[in-house]
Amino acid sequence: MSVRSRKLIGTLVLLVFLAVYALVVASIGAGRITTAPPLTQLAFFFVAGLAWVVPAGLLIRWMQRP
């Protein structure tokens, strides 16, 4: 598979992943987490805000592989 086609596929997968991830995290953040203690809310938003970086980084590394 050429680098160009991997970049196209990777970009599309990344966009879909981020959209679904944002919707899931936003629905959890607007629903169940509102009744949790403040430190639990802080931990949730901290982890949820950074958790997407690992899969995105792996996908970007795959996209740039020769």
pLDDT at 32: 86
pTM of the model: 0.84
In this predicted structure, the answer to whether residue 10 has a pLDDT above a threshold of 90 is yes
Which residue carries 């203690």 as its tokens? 37
Q: Could you please report the per-residue DSSP string of 7-58?
A: HHHHHHHHHHHHHHHHHHHHHHHHTGGGGS-HHHHHHHHHHHHHTTHHHHHH
Q: Tell me: the pLDDT tens digits for 12-60?
A: 999 999 999 999 999 999 998 999 999 999 999 999 999 999 999 999 9
> At 43, which amino acid appears?
A
